[in-house]
Chains A and B, each alone.
Chain A
Amino acid sequence: MKKLAADTWAQTRRWLVHLRQDRMALTLGIIQPLILLALVGPLLDHVVRDASQVEELRRLLRERFATTDYLSFLFSGIAVFTVLVNSILGGIPIVFDRETGFMEKILAAPVSRLSIVLSRFVYVVLYSCLQLGIISLVGALLGVRPENPWLAGGTLLLFTVLLSAGITVLSLALAFVFPHHSIFFAITGFLLSPLLVLSPTFVARSSMPAWMSAAATFNPMTYAIEPIRAAFIVPGGGQAALYLHCALALLAFDIVCVALAVRTIKRRLA
């Protein structure tokens, strides 16, 4: 156990050095969610504000979106999407390590195999925390101010970590399966946009066409966005059942991902 922790930390440090060295990726990684928030937010916020002038529409918005403040509504979706991107790309350095042979050097050392996977997860969580901190700050400046900041912050952290675990582990499994980074980028890039659109990021599930809303049921992002959104915009935080239901759904998702990944990675690391 102590060895696992030491091995994991040794490798996490390496990923943190990468982050510090690769200024470009770091800057872009921080700007990208801000762009979404700063561009999509005001754009749709305007439409929503106009619509809410009409009494009938305002009632509908309250019913479907729980708020007429679109920016606050959008915030949870952008936060979750940001963590999703980090997680889905979490396997990339492993792909490169396999290409350059660096992985073999690590595998030739008496290193706990689990620590290779864990170090990527720990790194993704740390990096996500940095990004979430920054977009929360920017969000607060733009007017995203939850009624109960502790509940909102805690929910944001818990549910993004739950989502990230499963996705990161899947990404790592892909990294061990595909021999070349071009295939890896193609697959992950292909997955990102449907995951984003078939989720309640921009529109509440109740306002989607039926088939889309059905598809969103199978999107793990949904189970991270909805409780976080409730914590941010529903007065009093909404119903406890929602949190429990979503946490269990994500936990089940994580267990399936870990089981799949362990089988794949074990075969590759034999």
Chain B
Amino acid sequence: MSSSPESPALSVQGLVKEYPGGVRAVDGLDVLVKPGEVFVFLGPNGAGKSTTIRCVVTLAAPTAGSIAVYGHDVLREPDAVRRLVGYVPQEVALDRYLTARQHLELSARLYGIPRREASQRIESVLELVELRDRADDGVKGFSGGMKKRLDIACGLLHRPRLLVLDEPTVGLDLQTRYKVWDFVRALRDEGVSVLLTTHDMEEADELADRIAIIDHGRVQSQGSSAELKASYGGEMVKVDLGREPLEEADCKALASLEGVREVQRRGRSLLFVTANARDLAPRVAEWFEGRAGQPLRGLSFGPPSLGDVFLRITGHEIRDES
């Protein structure tokens, strides 16, 4: 099979991955990544994101189902897939004896980049991840952020058409995190497709063209951030109590306010799901005003956040349905 202009950047169909011992980490997962889009996997710990990615980058063989990258099947043409894919693993994997430049030189050789071209590309990725002045230092002395940037640079060097980033911004400071977001956007603008996993809702919101919410080894819901929020079917009023949760009786009373569809307790906050948040918000504020000794810290309202959608779908949070 050869790659045609119409082939999706990544097509995963009915993927099942069972580890020895019977753990079904992935259980019938389907995903289609279009060329040039940033696709994000959102999912709780253990959902099967990394396992799916390991199958995509040919590090693990699927138990069932099929995966193709730009039309190349991972089992039948693994080397073609490897050339098209750049992989940055969840855990930084560097060789403590090598310098930044030596890492990139090794990558260049392993991907068969001609010598002269390699040295130019190495300079340009070093520039991109802002490690040029540390290029000849051993990575032993690098900070976590520098290591992560170098790891990303290694994944970019051979100009992959599909870049796979497993939790690229974990443990990075805000500045570096924004830098990584900038790389991802710049790559997309060059036509590179990106598949990334994250636990960070803001990251998904900022970067994703489309998002798949994954749980129990399966896609539970997918679409653009706006589509997912719309699918929630309601708006939110959020109240910051600034103290421990209310009594059961008070929750009941609030749930029976006109227009309240559902009340969720989340830490020191209460969330009201409603058809029209602008109408409900004053009524909620009024209710609290009528209660001596229970002033509000804050109140906000609007469409649901990606986090709200995520929690509703994955349900890993104690919820009070009314």
Which residues does A use to contact B, with CB under 8 Å? 3, 6-7, 9-11, 13-14, 17-18, 21-22, 100-102, 104-111, 270
Stretch of B85-93, B127-135, B168-176, B270-278 lying at the A interface: B85-93
Known: A109-B82, A109-B111. A17 touches B97 (CB 8 A): yes
Residues of A within 8 A of B112 (CB): 3, 6, 110
**B82→A110 contact, CB < 8 A:** yes
**Chain A at the B interface: SS class:** helix
| B83 nearest CB neighbor, chain A only | A110
**A14→B98 contact, CB < 8 A:** yes
In the assembled complex, the CB of B314 is this many whole angstroms from the nearest CB of chain A, namely: 27
Stretch of B21-29, B56-64, B189-197, B251-259 lying at the A interface: B56-64
Contact residue among B61, B91, B102, B111 (Cβ-Cβ distance under 8 Å from A270): B61
| B85 nearest CB neighbor, chain A only | A108
Residues of B within 8 A of A108 (CB): 57-59, 82, 85, 87
- Complex Cα distance, B17 from A270, in Å, reads 14
Which residues does B use to contact A, with CB under 8 Å? 57-59, 61, 79, 82-83, 85, 87, 89, 91, 93-95, 97-98, 102, 106-107, 109-112, 138, 154
Which of A9, A17, A100, A108 has the most chain B CB atoms closer than 10 A to its own CB?
A108
Residues of B within 8 A of A100 (CB): 93-95
Contact residue among A17, A101, A106 (Cβ-Cβ distance under 8 Å from B110): A106
- Complex Cα distance, B82 from A104, in Å, reads 12
Residues of B within 8 A of A270 (CB): 61
**A101→B57 contact, CB < 8 A:** no
In the assembled complex, the CB of B82 is this many whole angstroms from the nearest CB of chain A, namely: 4
Residues of A within 8 A of B94 (CB): 100, 102
- Complex Cα distance, B53 from A108, in Å, reads 11
In the assembled complex, the CB of B199 is this many whole angstroms from the nearest CB of chain A, namely: 19
Contact residue among B89, B91, B102, B111 (Cβ-Cβ distance under 8 Å from A110): B111
6 cross-chain CB contacts under 8 A: A3-B112, A13-B106, A14-B98, A100-B95, A108-B59, A110-B82
In the assembled complex, the CB of B61 is this many whole angstroms from the nearest CB of chain A, namely: 6
The 10 tightest CB contacts between A and B, nearest first, are A10-B109, A101-B93, A110-B82, A109-B110, A21-B97, A110-B79, A108-B87, A102-B93, A18-B97, A108-B57
Which of A7, A102, A105 has the most chain B CB atoms closer than 10 A to its own CB?
A105
**A107→B59 contact, CB < 8 A:** yes
Known: A3-B112, A102-B95, A108-B57. A10 touches B106 (CB 8 A): yes
- Complex Cα distance, B85 from A197, in Å, reads 51
Residues of A within 8 A of B109 (CB): 6-7, 9-10, 13
In the assembled complex, the CB of A107 is this many whole angstroms from the nearest CB of chain B, namely: 6
Known: A109-B107, A110-B79. A104 touches B138 (CB 8 A): no
Residues of B within 8 A of A21 (CB): 97, 138
**A10→B138 contact, CB < 8 A:** no
Residues of A within 8 A of B89 (CB): 101, 104-105
Contact residue among B61, B102, B111 (Cβ-Cβ distance under 8 Å from A17): B102
Residues of B within 8 A of A18 (CB): 97
**B110→A7 contact, CB < 8 A:** yes
- Complex Cα distance, B89 from A109, in Å, reads 13
- Complex Cα distance, B57 from A101, in Å, reads 14
In the assembled complex, the CB of A193 is this many whole angstroms from the nearest CB of chain B, namely: 30
In the assembled complex, the CB of A188 is this many whole angstroms from the nearest CB of chain B, namely: 21
Residues of A within 8 A of B106 (CB): 10-11, 13-14
- Complex Cα distance, B111 from A18, in Å, reads 21
Residues of B within 8 A of A14 (CB): 95, 98, 102, 106
